[in-house]
Amino acid sequence: MTSADKSGTNGQTAMQTPPVVSAQDWEAARQQLLVKEKAHTRARDALAAERRRMPWMEVGKTYAFEGPGGKVSLADLFQGRRQLIVYRAFFEPGVFGWPDHACRGCSMVADQVAHVSHLNARDTTLVFASRAPQADIARLKKRMGWTMPWVTITDSFDADFGVDEWHGTNVFYRDGDRIFRTYFIKSRGDEQMGGTWNYLDITPLGRQEVWEDSPKGYPQTPTYKWWNWHDSYEEGAAPDKKWVEISDAGEKAFRKEAAEGRD
């Protein structure tokens, strides 16, 4: 019995911790679990590929929001990009925490959001939307250190897209003047959101890398090559030659280990 198995104070039930083993047995257990973890990763990739083939629903209604600079449309939220992710955050009168804070759960989601420049580099814009006035949103963002775009809902957008009573993430695609709803995730599904990869995996174009199983004609670039420091992206810039060399070497080593079953 380890120290962690001993009964705690205040009548707490003793923790039934796993056995303590040798380094060799620990590695064997890790390798056994790794088989299932790899299968999980491949299943997740396959699910994302299926998601990219979901039918689209055209948005025929016009929606209006308030942004820091005034009134904006749904099309404006794309900021010139093809893909738009809108997270409905609850920050408004009647929500627990108002006016000092947004919903605790929505705030945890906001705390997870990676630097949006990485999404922008993949032709994708992330926007948060609430019913609080812009002055309150600006105050909250400053207090919490959040920098993502955040607009005020002024019409039936939340009710029309299933987020009037609970948080959720909607994904849209813009083709010229036409806008399509392509995906929706809510409840525990939102728990995985925040990271660049997970956001891209729910978009119709995906990560846009050559290894992905995407429909014919979808944009795809060499794996890893578009990665950059968040303050160094330049639209239309070719991948840095040194980074190409480094990422190629890393990918080669990774593929070799995978082929030998050592990863």
pLDDT, residue 22, reads 98
* pLDDT tens per residue across span 93-146: 999 999 999 999 999 999 999 999 999 999 999 999 999 999 999 999 999 999
Q: How confident is the model at residue 4, as a pLDDT? A: 54
What does the pLDDT read at residue 46?
98
**Where do the H-state alpha helices sit in 171-240?**
196-201
pLDDT for 179-232, tens place per residue? Answer: 999 999 999 999 999 999 999 999 999 999 999 999 999 999 999 999 999 999
Is the whole-model pTM more than 0.75? yes
- The confidence band for 254, taking pLDDT boundaries of 50, 70 and 90, is confident
166: CB partners within 8 A, 6+ apart? 186, 187
What is the per-residue pLDDT for 1? 45
Q: What is the pLDDT of residue 11?
A: 75
| CA end-to-end span of the chain | 33
Element (H, E) at 172: strand 168-175
* Domain extent listing, the chain: 52-201, 222-262
Q: Is the pLDDT of residue 262 over 80?
A: no
Say what the pLDDT of residue 28 is: 98
- List, in order, residues 6 or more apart from 6 with CB less than 8 Å away: 14
Instruction: Report the alpha-carbon distance of residue 194 to residue 248 in Å, rounded.
Output: 27
Task: Give the CA-trace dihedral at 215, 220, 224, 225, to 10 degrees.
Answer: 170
pLDDT in tens, 3-32: 455 555 677 889 999 999 999 999 999 999
d(CA 201, CA 52): 9
Please identify, in words, the CATH class of the domain defined by 52-201. Answer: alpha beta
